[in-house]
Amino acid sequence: MIVSKPAVAGTLESNDCYVTVLPNHSSGIQLVIRSIVMQKYGHLIEKTIREVLEEYQIEHVSLTLEDKGALDFTIKARVKTALERSV
Amino acid sequence: MNGRSYLFIPGNSAGMMVSSFVLDADVLIYDLEDAVSLDQKDSARHLVNEAVRFLPKRSQCWVRVNPLDSPYFMKDVDALIDSPIDAFLLPKCDDVRFKDMYAYIEAAAKRKNVHIKPCVALIESATGVFTLPKLIKLNVSGLFLGAEDLSADMHMTRTKGSDEIMLARQQVVLHARVKGIVCIDTPFVDVEDMDGLQYDAIKAKQFGFDGKACIHPKQVSQINQLFGYSDEQLQWAQGVLDMAKKHADVAVFNYQGSMVDRPILLRAQHMVDLARKWGLIHE
Amino acid sequence: MSKYLPVRPYQPVDEYSPMIWENKKQHRLNHQVQWMDDMNAMLDALDLFDGMTVSFHHHLRNGDAVMNMVMEAIAQRGYKDLTVVASSIFPVHQPLVAMLRDKTVTQIITSYMSGPVAKAVSEGECEATCVLQTHGGRARSILMEDVCIDIAFIASPSVNHRGDISGQHGKNACGALGYVMADALMAKNVVAISDSRVEFDTPSIEYTCVDMVLMVDSIGSSSGIVSGTTQLTKDPAGLKIAHLTVDLLDALGLVKNGLTYQSGAGGISLAVTTFLKEKMKQKQVVGEFASGGITRALVEMLEEGLFKHLYDVQCFDLDAVESLKKNANHHEISASMYANPNQLDNKVNQLDVVILGASEIDRDMNVNVTTGFDYQILGGSGGHADTSYGATWSIIVSKLVSSRIPVLVDRVTTITTPKDDVDIFVCDVGIAFAKRHQALAATLKQTTRLPIVTMEELAEISEKLCGKSLTIEHESRVVAVSEYRDGSLLDVIYQKKKGD
């Protein structure tokens, strides 16, 4: 899948996250993650994002995720939604 | 399939998803339809799909998909057909629409090589009520009354006394009983009016509904109580079963001054089974 | 100047022996208070020195102006190395941060710390090790002269012509002055700072304890006393917990005549009090007393005849302030009478049940209300450890997970209340009993519909939801200690790691 236009998904409410996806033609996978539980679960948030990117076979994307304590299932859902909107 | 309370959870709310599994509703209905705006249909579909595969399952989980003639119905079904949900709640049903939706769901199940899910029909239109006799000839697993949309379609004025939906209620219950499936009453929409909820729920139970929809978690415990069994009823049922064990050799016996025959015995067993499921009695 | 620090390690104690303090100041019947003209005159008349210990109370909470007013005046005179013994510290006390940085203040001893000062202490900006006490422990340490106060500055809503102090009158009345009384009895110098001269007969503090009185324009804002408390929770999961808790109280036989009750000020605790009220009305029972921080909800219960007495150590809202003035059975008590373990007949020992919150709890039921998972100080015991010890049933109420922050952890960041004093944990997933109550838990599981679970089951669910957390790092410096109510050392608080 190729990310060809900007897209967003999710919200900044508690238990949710806000994902912004931008096309980035050849710089690989650029992730920026900000989370209220970064110290505890930042590694799991990043893992979840990368798993989705792999599932969608994305090689180049600039993805920003602003997290307000979303569980992994929410992170997955919001990232998938943003990616599908960016096609 | 038997539940007392059916709680709608907005499908795009991450916060509500996360707490949904601790709320004591017998059935959680994750809503992709009316609770979700058009620009978030995709988002809700993903969120519900991920949630039902992740969250601890302490209640039955249904999903209300979008209507057949929307651009979302097929995607909703494709996403959720192989998930652990217990049923689809199909909106705006009449016999023809249910048939078409069921056909698509059946095909989707076949494609993914999974069992088809039970489908519950939401009766919320004039044709929905009118075609009930034909509807129950199809593979429908439950009838769910949606009085808000129904009253709009019928040009009714919706009131708390609910006289205007009496016919619809009776028809839904009648056809559910003929088919032998569950029937669920429409939600009481004034969430601040707990007395009004009590009155409405008692009415619904009198009419014969198995359970009632809830649109707010605070309605759940009252609905569970009203559509469940009281301690006296459970004591009676347990007493009947204990007595039956003692009189295993006879077809009819006397309990508390009344005749107990097979139908009553079955009813007592059914009550105890449900009560156990609802956590009302222990081993 | 050596700073106060508890060092004796904590040991569970079954019973504390009562001790009697001599009120040396009550013999000063011919004593006359000095009326000072202004702040400068007052400071001139006091014996100030580097390293001295000054104290303040927090009954005006985030509406207090006195601590800042006094500390700024002292700081301007260039004194350094002060110890501030404040019963609590709020965001309004932000000017203290600069004083930490320039070493005007080098130690804080308190029962609760929040806002910029708490942040500064967590980041290592206070030179000496701070001490976080309980409300009862603070009174004990002052009365037993473990903590010696050179000057107590008392924000006084009203003073009369004799120099008596009352919290109930004046333009910024705050009601009970429970946390002040030990200071007034024991400090070498006691200064009342007031903005209202009123004549009254029933003082909170008698003039015999007061050395000087300074009148100022305003001691702060009494509307600020509502700050730091919360509204009833609206969260369905929180409401479920509150309902479960009241059902549990009923199953334990606690909804009875003669009930003695206290609850914290968190959203779920307030909901418990509200639902308990309905249950008590339903069962037509009358409780003996409710105690601690008094809210409107408790005042209503008093006025509706559901409790015979209220024992008030601080007023959490203006309805409580009003009630203290007009209701004969609404009594002001000192922090010592409330929660000092060595005080004869202290109230917490008479409690049947206390409902409390938690920032963290571990499987053994040690509880943390002092720090967040990132080592940021966000409060302190207040009365948490006191009431947990004294109450027959200490019940912790909290959601299992909030915004991916689990309350159940392998090891609490700071022990505020030890496991020996905690009995039950009620969360939205179920009810868990301390290990010593396992027989009772089994019985209730058999005979009631309460969702009885184990801490292990809860931990499993919590980890499934959140995932496995990384261990949070901290700096090696100990910035503060968690002192148990009897003056022993319960736990240490490390400095936060730098960064966001």
Give the tens place of pLDDT for each residue, C128-170.
Answer: 999 999 999 999 999 999 999 999 999 999 999 999 999 999 9
Instruction: Please state the rounded mean pLDDT for residues C65-87.
Output: 97
Instruction: Please state the rounded mean pLDDT for residues B1-18.
Output: 94
Buried b (16+ CB within 10 A) or exposed e, C51-73: ebbbbbbbbbbbbbbbbbbbbee
Residue C212 has pLDDT above 90, yes or no: yes
C428/B19 Cβ within 8 A: yes
Candidates C95, C28, C20; CA nearest to C56 is C95
Name every chain A residue with its beta carbon within 8 A of the beta carbon of B30. Answer: none
Name every chain B residue with its beta carbon within 8 A of the beta carbon of A74. Answer: 14, 17-18, 47, 50-51
Residues 6+ apart with CB under 8 A from B106: B116
| B188 touches B8 (CB < 8 A) | no
CATH number at residue C93: 3.40.1080.10
In whole numbers, what is the pLDDT of chain C averaged over residues? 95
C465/A40 Cβ within 8 A: no
Q: Which of A40, A44, A49, A72 to mutate to test the interface with C (most CBs of C within 10 A)?
A: A40
What residues form DSSP beta bridges with C360?
C368
Residue C440: how many other CB atoms lie within 10 Å: 16
Whether chain A has a CB inside 8 Å of the CB on C463: the answer is no
Interface confidence (ipTM) of the complex: 0.97
Measured between CA atoms, how close is A15 to chain C, in angstroms?
5
Whether chain A has a CB inside 8 Å of the CB on C410: the answer is no
**How many angstroms separate the CA atoms of C237 and C240, rounded?**
5
C307 plus C160 within the same structural domain: no
Residue B166: how many other CB atoms lie within 10 Å: 12
What is the number of domains present in chain C? Answer: 2
Whether chain A has a CB inside 8 Å of the CB on B43: the answer is yes
**How many angstroms separate the CA atoms of C122 and A53, rounded?**
39
Name every chain A residue with its beta carbon within 8 A of the beta carbon of B41. Answer: none
In a domain, C48, yes or no: yes
C460 plus C390 within the same structural domain: yes
- Number of Cβ pairs < 8 A linking chain A and chain C: 41
**How many angstroms separate the CA atoms of C389 and B234, rounded?**
41
C310 plus C453 within the same structural domain: yes
In a domain, C150, yes or no: yes
Instruction: Please state the rounded mean pLDDT for residues C102-120.
Output: 97
SS3 at position A73: helix
Measured between CA atoms, how close is C118 to chain A, in angstroms?
19
Name every chain B residue with its beta carbon within 8 A of the beta carbon of A9. Answer: 43
Q: Is the torsion defined by CA of B224, B230, B231, B236 positive or negative?
A: negative
Domain boundaries, chain B: 5-227, 231-277
Scanning chain A, the segments in alpha helix (DSSP H) are: 38-55, 72-85
C470/A41 Cβ within 8 A: yes
Gap between the terminal Cα atoms of chain A:
7
Residue pLDDT, tens place only, C289-344: 999 999 999 999 999 999 999 999 999 988 999 999 999 999 999 999 999 999 99
Residue C14: how many other CB atoms lie within 10 Å: 5
C262 plus C306 within the same structural domain: yes
To the nearest whole percent, how much of chain A has pLDDT over 70? Answer: 100
C213 plus C265 within the same structural domain: no
Residue B61, pLDDT score: 97
Length of chain C: 500
Q: Which of A11, A32, A37 to mutate to test the interface with C (most CBs of C within 10 A)?
A: A37
In a domain, C490, yes or no: no
Q: How confident is the model at residue B1 (pLDDT cuts 50, 70, 90)?
A: low
Give the nearest chain A residue to C470 (CA atoms).
A40
Q: In terms of CATH architecture, what is B5-227?
A: Alpha-Beta Barrel (3.20)
| C402 touches C245 (CB < 8 A) | no
Candidates C283, C462, C454, C269; CA nearest to C353 is C269
A72/C470 Cβ within 8 A: no
What residues form DSSP beta bridges with C368?
C360
Candidates C218, C80, C227, C93; CA nearest to C158 is C218
Structure tokens, C88? 């609590």
Range of the domain at C462: 236-472
C299 plus C446 within the same structural domain: yes
C209 plus C287 within the same structural domain: no
In a domain, C493, yes or no: no
Residue C445, pLDDT score: 94
Candidates C174, C133, C86, C490; CA nearest to C339 is C133
Torsional class of B207: left (φ above 0), alpha (ψ -120 to 50), beta (otherwise): alpha
Measured between CA atoms, how close is B14 to chain A, in angstroms?
6
Residues 6+ apart with CB under 8 A from C36: C42, C45, C212, C213, C214
List own/partner pairs for C435-443 with CB under 8 A and 24 or more apart: C435/C364
Residue pLDDT, tens place only, C255-267: 999 999 999 988 9
Residue C1, pLDDT score: 63
SS3 at position C62: helix
C336 plus C430 within the same structural domain: yes
Type of residue at C377: I
**How many angstroms separate the CA atoms of C330 and B174, rounded?**
61
C256 plus C368 within the same structural domain: yes
Whether chain B has a CB inside 8 Å of the CB on C463: the answer is no
Residue pLDDT, tens place only, B222-264: 999 999 998 899 999 999 988 888 887 877 888 888 888 888 8
**How many angstroms separate the CA atoms of B182 and B176, rounded?**
6
Residue pLDDT, tens place only, A32-56: 999 999 999 999 999 999 999 999 9
Write out the residues of chain B at the interface with chain C, using a CB-CB cutoff of 8 A. 18-19, 22-24, 55-56, 216-218, 221, 279-280, 282
Measured between CA atoms, how close is A5 to chain B, in angstroms?
17
Residue B136, pLDDT score: 97
The beta-strand segments (E) located in C247-384 are 260-263, 287-294, 307-315, 330-332, 353-356, 360-362, 367-368
Interface chains of chain C (3 or more CB pairs under 8 Å): A, B
Candidates B180, B181, B179; CA nearest to B133 is B179
What residues form DSSP beta bridges with C132?
C110, C482
In a domain, C344, yes or no: yes
Residue C229 has pLDDT above 80, yes or no: no
In a domain, C18, yes or no: no
Among A9, A14, A76, the residue with its CB nearest the CB of B50 is A76
Residue B220 has pLDDT above 70, yes or no: yes
**How many angstroms separate the CA atoms of C461 and C457, rounded?**
6
Candidates C347, C487, C425, C466; CA nearest to C11 is C487
Whether chain B has a CB inside 8 Å of the CB on C326: the answer is no
| B84 touches B54 (CB < 8 A) | no
Candidates A72, A73, A16, A13; CA nearest to A41 is A72
Name every chain C residue with its beta carbon within 8 A of the beta carbon of A37. Answer: 403-405
Q: Tell me whether residue C259 is exposed, middle or buried, using C-beta atoms within 10 angstroms of its C-beta: 0 to 12, 13 to 18, 19 or more.
A: buried
Structure tokens, A25? 């033609």
B19/C236 Cβ within 8 A: yes
C464/B217 Cβ within 8 A: no
C308 plus C205 within the same structural domain: no
B282/C239 Cβ within 8 A: no
Residue C446: how many other CB atoms lie within 10 Å: 10
C405/A37 Cβ within 8 A: yes
SS3 at position C197: strand
Measured between CA atoms, how close is A78 to chain B, in angstroms?
7
Whether chain A has a CB inside 8 Å of the CB on C465: the answer is yes
The beta-strand segments (E) located in C296-357 are 307-315, 330-332, 353-356
B18/C236 Cβ within 8 A: no
Residue pLDDT, tens place only, B77-129: 999 999 999 999 999 999 999 999 999 999 999 999 999 999 999 999 999 99
Domains of chain A, CATH where assigned: 7-85 (3.30.230.10)
Q: How confident is the model at residue C31 (pLDDT cuts 50, 70, 90)?
A: confident
Based on DSSP, count helices (H) and strands (E) in chain C, helices before strands.
Answer: 14, 26
DSSP B156: P
Whether chain B has a CB inside 8 Å of the CB on C428: the answer is yes
Residue C432, pLDDT score: 98
**C-alpha C123, offset from chain centre:** 23
Interface chains of chain A (3 or more CB pairs under 8 Å): B, C
Residue C349, pLDDT score: 97
Instruction: Please state the rounded mean pLDDT for residues C18-42.
Output: 86
Final residue in a domain of this structure, among C178, C208, C226: C226
Structure tokens, B98? 């249910």
